[in-house]
Structure 1
Amino acid sequence: MSETVQQNGVGRGARLPRTARRAQLLAAAQDVFAANGYHAAGMDEIAERAGVSKPVLYQHFPGKLELYMALLDKHVDELVRRVTEAMESTTDNKDRVRNAVGAYFGFVDNESQAFRLVFESDLRGEPLVQDAVDRATTSSVDVITATITADAGLDEARARLLAVGLVGVSQVAAMAWLSDNRSLPKEDAIALISNLAWRGIGGGFPLLPPND
């Protein structure tokens, strides 16, 4: 299914498949929400940024909250995907720690400023938003917990606390690095924080030998 953008009876844009139009609208909304926050952002401005009429915008998203949630869920999924990939991309635990830290630095370094919706949302009082933000942490912790439990032989409670620590230090350090205007090259910052984390995890909880 395709649609043509119309405003005042004049075609303003090329015909786009519905999925492509939705992606275009989300990209425009990202710019507006990142610049203004949820409360100051307007659907008029988002439609204008996307180059569409408001009726076209409302065909895809019935309201501002639904649009915000679609964008937030997209970014949470992306962060969890990065962390999952960090755990699954290697069986070397030192590399896993580095990759997990790198997942957070890569996420906050994203030019779309997706991190602002996930880590700095001004709509935390909305239950749907809080649930999505919490999922960014809990799902990442779940992925790391499963890996630590399997490979270090720890019970779930201890593995989960270690996972929370790794997620916490990665997120806080990445945000601090960004706030400090990337004072170190990203790879140097990742190496510094991953070395800190690895000395604790690798020294105290080594990889168990495989069962024969």
Structure 2
Amino acid sequence: MNLQPNSRPEQTLTGTSTYGRAPRMAKEDRRDQLLTTALNAFADGGYHTTSMDDIAAAAGVSKPVLYQHFPGKRELYLALVEHTLVDLSAKLDHSLASSDVNRTRVESMINTHFEFVEHQPQAHRLVFSADLLAFPEVADKLNDFYDGIAGIIASVLGPNVGLPHNQAAMLGRSLVQMVQTAAVYWAQHPGSVNRQQAQQQVFRLAWGGISILDEDWQ
């Protein structure tokens, strides 16, 4: 499922007016529609001011239908977080597995994260919002996300530079969070450099540090 905002807020994924009754759907299709609608609603109105009534109306369903899928707003938000992080993890995993050349792996990982920040800004802001990180469940999901990607990087980095897995995982997590921070800063300052330049600068910093660990790692 692609949790992208609809180009026209008055339309649902099915093309039905958000103020009309949505047609019947298979359970999973309905869940996907509700997640997409909730993402748009939270992005437009903010998590705290958006109600389940708002989301049900935007999706064209009754509140009982919405509650059949999600017991409450918090559970709906956590489902959005989980979906987004699973999707991003899979993309980062794929980018690291797409080549046997380590330089290309790092470039691809950086590109994947910048692409996520640029093309899914609502999902990114919702998941990585400092305000919503106060939810312990969100912090736990983010920690699992970072640890998972760090572990994948460590499985490549450790053998190449002769580091134990736990040390390589620490460096892998540092790399992922550096890229995340840089991508967010770039998105918040669009006039600084273009995306290609930003990615190149982040890559030079990341690759320069990796190269110091082992000058023979190519």
What range is the shorter-chain TM-score in?
A: 0.7 to 0.9
For the pair 1:124 / 2:139, whether they are aligned, the reply is no
1:135 aligns with one of 138, 141, 144 = 144
**Runs (5+) with no aligned partner, structure 2:** 1-19
For the pair 1:187 / 2:196, whether they are aligned, the reply is yes
TM-aligned CA distance change 1:80 to 1:174, over 3 Å: same
Shift of 1:79: 1.7
Counterpart CA distance in 1 for 2:48 and 2:35 is: 17
Q: What residue number does 1:8 align with?
A: none
User: Does 111-120 or 69-78 show the bigger shift?
Assistant: 111-120
Q: Is residue 161–residue 213 contact of structure 2 (8 Å, CA) maintained in 1?
A: no
Shift of 1:207: 5.8
1:145 aligns with one of 148, 154, 175 = 154
SS of the residue corresponding to residue 22 of structure 1 reads helix
Q: What residue number does 2:208 align with?
A: 199
Greater CA radius of gyration, 1 or 2?
A: 1
Structure 1 length-normalised TM = 0.85
Report % sequence identity. 38
Q: Is residue 104–residue 170 contact of structure 1 (8 Å, CA) maintained in 2?
A: yes
Report the residue type matching 1:191 in the other structure: Q
Q: Is residue 103–residue 207 contact of structure 2 (8 Å, CA) maintained in 1?
A: yes
Q: Is residue 34–residue 113 contact of structure 1 (8 Å, CA) maintained in 2?
A: yes
Structure 2 length-normalised TM = 0.83
Shift of 1:176: 0.2
Shift of 1:139: 1.5
Stretches of 4+ moved more than 6 A in 1? none
Shift of 1:110: 2.3
TM-aligned CA distance change 1:129 to 1:102, over 3 Å: same
TM-aligned CA distance change 1:92 to 1:120, over 3 Å: same
TM-aligned CA distance change 1:66 to 1:186, over 3 Å: same
Q: What residue number does 1:4 align with?
A: none
Shift of 1:159: 1.3
For the pair 1:170 / 2:179, whether they are aligned, the reply is yes
Q: Is residue 37–residue 122 contact of structure 1 (8 Å, CA) maintained in 2?
A: no
SS of the residue corresponding to residue 132 of structure 2 reads coil
Q: What residue number does 1:80 align with?
A: 89
Q: What residue number does 1:17 align with?
A: 26
User: Does 48-57 or 68-77 show the bigger shift?
Assistant: 48-57
For the pair 1:64 / 2:73, whether they are aligned, the reply is yes
Q: What residue number does 2:52 align with?
A: 43
TM-aligned CA distance change 1:148 to 1:113, over 3 Å: same
Report the residue type matching 2:86 in the other structure: D
For the pair 1:155 / 2:169, whether they are aligned, the reply is no
Q: Is residue 211–residue 217 contact of structure 2 (8 Å, CA) maintained in 1?
A: no
Q: How many residues were matched structurally?
A: 199
The alignment's C-alpha RMSD in Å is 2.0
Shift of 1:182: 5.9
